[in-house]
Structure 1
Amino acid sequence: MQSSEVLPVLPLPSIMVKPPSPRKEMTVADVMLSLREDIPEAPKFKSFMETSSGNQSVTRLEDPGAVFCVGDTLNVLVEMKDFNGKPKTYGGDFILARIHSPELKASASGVVTDLHNGSYRVSFTLFWSGTVQVSVLLIHSAEAVQVLWRERKGSYWKVLFVGTFIKGDQTETSQCGPMLKTTRPLCEYVDKREGEYYACIKPPTLPCSSLNNIKSHNSEGPFLTQDEDRLLERKNIGVQIKNSFPAVQVISCDVTPAKPSEKCLLGKESPIPTGYFYQNRWFSTVCQQAPFLSQDTITKCLTGKRFYLWGDSTIRQWMEYLRTKVEGLTHKDEVGNWLPLRSFNYAKSIALQWKRHNPPWIGSRAVSTKGFVYISRELDDVVLGGGRQDAIVISIGQHFRAFPLEYFIHRLLNIRRAILRLQARSPETMVFIKLENTREFTTPMLRMSDTYGHLQNLAQRKVFKGMRVVIVDAWDMSVAANTFSIHPN
């Protein structure tokens, strides 16, 4: 922000900050090791017909004679079969599940446990009474998961970037990316402290400093076998597994649904599911939640606060929503595609800002290099008031799905270290980490599959575990709502 746009700092009592005790730095290898069990290995299949079929598989109630009360756990067993109808003998399928009551506009996600024998247990907490339907989706077969994981490891070239260099009336283009296969001279854009690297093949005559914008397109391939291609056809993605039982009747049993008694605190670990929808409103199971349903209550909540958002278009969507809900805002946006957005209400001391993250940034439209920032650097430089009047929200991931998981984890660890530095100088600043949400089944699976997003969310939970941050589980919400949209309404 320019100096004229910085809001006044509200006076707060001084706080003694105890320096963090020495600890072993978390590494990319540490995080990858912690995810080892979440990447099961399926035996090589001989034919497509031997792979998991959602249409052939079935779900059963684990306790079909039980009476179900609000607050109980409903366990469903998934018996996976191949396209020949033969039971599977190993796990690794990617399954998402939810319960829902359309007439109540209620829904919640389920917890899937792989029994590693071709069967799965899905556990649902029954949050409301009434007729409850169970929905279990086979997103990808175990065999498809293995193909997707194989094609992600070490691959930086499923998406190609083109940089445009401009100086005066002269324009030149060249290939760019986080890793290039070339022996030609390079323009290298390096942040040594953060260990971040991006490069372009040096243009014929223009200087490296004239890089103006970047856009991307999908490369050819990866090239799969015919059976592997069939695994990733749209008709074999997100297949509803049929239930062997009707909708479940849940009664109150004179039980009052438990409500969280604790306030929402930084660093509080959240269970899964983190909440549920009822009458189209989200109820947290983690902590007390104040309703922010009107423009007036949202404006009052943000009065006297600066709200910094960094990341991709899914967090820009928050910015766009707040602009429709906060009263009296003046917008001071930078002109250009995906450049920073800023909004102010000077009378109420409200400031909102969104900035996109540094490459990779996938998109067919040219994106100015002017607006790219390493979030870790921005966190070091951000203007803070030293108290709870400042809130930071970070959301990255969607643009990293097409690249090796290690690349994403490296970026997360840089952000982790920057958050620790920020909290050392401003311990009352609130930091939120928004996890990825699900996206469309029509997305190019070899580049953007939700399998990749799921693993990246697990990595985020590992990297930020034990820190004084709030995890916003957008994945849990989007599974419960059955949205499968990168920008859900």
Structure 2
Amino acid sequence: MITDFNNSLSLVNISTSVITIRNNTSEVRIGDDVIVDIDLYNGEGERTTRGGDMLRVWLKEPSRHASVSGYVIDHDNGSYTGVVKAMWAGNPELMFSIANTKEHIGIFMNIVHKYGLIKFLRARFMKGNLTEITLCSIIPNIPDVTDYCNFTTQNFNFSFFCGKPKHMNLDCKDWVLYAASSNYSCNTKNKSLMRNRYIRKKVGVVNVLTGSGNTGESDIPCHDVSSYLTWHTSNPTGYFYNDTWRSLICKPSISWKYESYDKCLKNRPVLITGDSTTRNWYVPLTKLLNLTISDGRHEIKDAAWQKFAEAENNEKALSLYWTPHEIPFYGSERTEQNKNNFRSIASRIDDLPGQKSVILILHWYAHLARTTPQQYREHVTSAKLAVVRLLKRSPDSKILVKGPHSYTHDYFVEPFDYTSRIYIQILYEEFKDLQHRVYFIDQWDATIANENFNIHPEASLDPIMVNFAFSFICK
């Protein structure tokens, strides 16, 4: 595995690399594949002879508010083939970017396997007037720390270790508060390499003609699509046109209206798990249903929003809940919160009632992209076993797994194109025996197509994707 690099000129470079449309074909019909030949060169103009870099291709036509993502085949010799399907008549631009270099991926993975996290967390220990802060990780290997508190049991058997307080009158049992830290486990040189430098390049303009070409846009209502199919789709799963997401899997079975959701969710408890991206699904859904969110009403009362949330109307038999996933979870570096805000997703699922048609949406990504794939798998496996228990006591329940989404903000150091691919594969493997009961909601294609930059997808996309997800279980 790559553990270092010489200098930035030794890395593949978008300016020196050669990207061309195969056979100079600039005219295609709707439904045709646009084939892109890619040969990567480094900053010194030398052709690379190894694969492993993560690349993107997509089409976009801003005047039509249209875009579609493609995929790239790695030939493991420095050459790649991009494929993107023409989905509308017009003159879209063919776009290309180097998302993650192999050096970025290798160095990142080496660091997280050594230290557990790319960015450490922190704990505050308190007793009386005494207080002390120490760094934390999922393995006991933190620079300059020799003595550790093992909080694995408190973290629902997910490994978690913090430096032991040095003050003689403070001990591990005095851990009270939890927060993100500003301390990275990588050095300055590597952090500079891994900062996401999202550089895109226009390859050319494609003239897409109408004709016998078929976009494959589905007329099948999502409610009539089997959950198994959602795990076995191909790129693209949809495209944007006139700022509207057009799914190639199915068409929405429900309208984004109060009456539709009031009818569908009556007497069906909804639990949405994850992070701020699923919180951004939860909030517009509660607003649509005229529900008021209460954070920590029956649990922890502090300033942090990352806690169990409830929104209920007993008269209408509506009950919607949201909860953050377990530690590692990166809240604010400025705001500390009660460590008990974080419970395992499995424990939350086990709290759901029996003999009910429960709706459960699961999600793990951005926070766990800062750790190892094995840690990610452990979190998914724990929740999956709880899903099995839920389906035994509430067999009419509906389960959906929200997949990773793309974001390219230059603050982050994680190789997201690589981790997303690994994590989607883990989700597929862990839920393989439940794919006939559990839906997979792909978010990658849409957020590649619309060039999503921030950690959260555009707010306008949230109701669209919530409605698409609920279309599988409502009509």
Same fold (TM over 0.5): yes
Say if 2:343 is the partner of 1:373. yes
Give the aligned partner of residue 475 of structure 1.
444
Give the aligned partner of residue 140 of structure 1.
100
In structure 2, what residue type is equivalent to 1:426?
S
Say if 2:35 is the partner of 1:75. yes
Contact 1:339 1:368 (C-alpha < 8 Å) held by counterparts = no
Give the aligned partner of residue 121 of structure 2.
161
> For residues 93-132 of structure 1, what are the alpha-carbon distances to aligned partners after superposition, in whole Å with 9 as ceiling and x for unaligned?
1112221222222212111111222221121222222222
Q: Whole-Å Cα distance in 2 between the matches of residues 457 and 180 of structure 1?
A: 28
Contact 1:165 1:211 (C-alpha < 8 Å) held by counterparts = yes
Q: CA deviation at 1:223?
A: 2.3
Q: 2:64 aligns with which of 96, 104, 114?
A: 104
Say if 2:400 is the partner of 1:432. yes
Q: Whole-Å Cα distance in 2 between the matches of residues 185 and 74 of structure 1?
A: 55
Q: 1:84 aligns with which of 15, 21, 44?
A: 44
Q: Whole-Å Cα distance in 2 between the matches of residues 224 and 175 of structure 1?
A: 19
Alignment TM-score, normalising by the size of structure 2: 0.82
Contact 1:70 1:251 (C-alpha < 8 Å) held by counterparts = yes
Distance 1:129 1:427, change over 3 A: farther
Contact 2:111 2:186 (C-alpha < 8 Å) held by counterparts = yes
Contact 1:129 1:252 (C-alpha < 8 Å) held by counterparts = no
Contact 2:227 2:438 (C-alpha < 8 Å) held by counterparts = yes
In structure 1, what residue type is equivalent to 2:225?
C
Contact 1:55 1:239 (C-alpha < 8 Å) held by counterparts = no
Contact 1:274 1:285 (C-alpha < 8 Å) held by counterparts = yes
Unaligned ranges ≥5, structure 2: 459-475
Q: 2:20 aligns with which of 57, 60, 70?
A: 60
Q: Whole-Å Cα distance in 1 between the matches of residues 54 and 117 of structure 2?
A: 25
Say if 2:285 is the partner of 1:318. no
Q: CA deviation at 1:68?
A: 2.0
- Indicate the SS of the match to 2:24: coil
Aligned-residue CA RMSD (Å): 2.9
Distance 1:483 1:65, change over 3 A: closer
Distance 1:298 1:425, change over 3 A: closer
Q: Whole-Å Cα distance in 2 between the matches of residues 58 and 67 of structure 1?
A: 20
Alignment TM-score, normalising by the size of structure 1: 0.80
Give the aligned partner of residue 201 of structure 2.
241
- Indicate the SS of the match to 1:485: coil
Say if 2:455 is the partner of 1:486. yes
Give the aligned partner of residue 31 of structure 1.
none
Q: CA deviation at 1:63?
A: 4.3
Q: CA deviation at 1:224?
A: 6.1
Distance 1:383 1:108, change over 3 A: same
Give the aligned partner of residue 461 of structure 1.
428
Q: CA deviation at 1:165?
A: 3.7
Q: Whole-Å Cα distance in 2 between the matches of residues 451 and 256 of structure 1?
A: 28
Q: CA deviation at 1:54?
A: 0.8
Say if 2:367 is the partner of 1:399. yes
Q: CA deviation at 1:45?
A: 6.2
Q: Whole-Å Cα distance in 1 between the matches of residues 215 and 445 of structure 2?
A: 24
- Indicate the SS of the match to 2:91: strand
In structure 2, what residue type is equivalent to 1:333?
D
| Identity score, percent | 21
Give the aligned partner of residue 175 of structure 2.
211
Q: Whole-Å Cα distance in 2 between the matches of residues 358 and 233 of structure 1?
A: 26
In structure 2, what residue type is equivalent to 1:469?
V
In structure 2, what residue type is equivalent to 1:431?
I
Contact 2:355 2:393 (C-alpha < 8 Å) held by counterparts = no
Q: CA deviation at 1:171?
A: 4.6
Q: 2:269 aligns with which of 306, 313, 316?
A: 306
Contact 2:89 2:208 (C-alpha < 8 Å) held by counterparts = yes
Q: CA deviation at 1:296?
A: 4.0
Contact 2:403 2:440 (C-alpha < 8 Å) held by counterparts = yes
Distance 1:379 1:357, change over 3 A: same
Q: CA deviation at 1:66?
A: 7.2
Say if 2:209 is the partner of 1:250. yes
Give the aligned partner of residue 109 of structure 2.
149
Q: Whole-Å Cα distance in 2 between the matches of residues 359 and 229 of structure 1?
A: 23
In structure 2, what residue type is equivalent to 1:315?
T
Give the aligned partner of residue 332 of structure 1.
294
> For residues 204-254 of structure 1, what are the alpha-carbon distances to aligned partners after superposition, in whole Å with 9 as ceiling and x for unaligned?
4456555332012132552265xx5664466xx2222341x4333232437
Q: Whole-Å Cα distance in 1 between the matches of residues 381 and 267 of structure 2?
A: 31
Say if 2:314 is the partner of 1:346. yes
Distance 1:221 1:369, change over 3 A: closer
Aligned residues: 439
Give the aligned partner of residue 87 of structure 2.
127
Distance 1:107 1:290, change over 3 A: farther
In structure 1, what residue type is equivalent to 2:427?
Q
Q: Whole-Å Cα distance in 2 between the matches of residues 122 and 291 of structure 1?
A: 35
Q: Whole-Å Cα distance in 2 between the matches of residues 91 and 292 of structure 1?
A: 45
In structure 1, what residue type is equivalent to 2:452?
T
Q: 2:187 aligns with which of 220, 223, 241?
A: 223
Contact 1:59 1:241 (C-alpha < 8 Å) held by counterparts = no
Give the aligned partner of residue 197 of structure 1.
159
Contact 1:340 1:355 (C-alpha < 8 Å) held by counterparts = yes
Q: Whole-Å Cα distance in 2 between the matches of residues 271 and 191 of structure 1?
A: 41
- Indicate the SS of the match to 1:86: coil
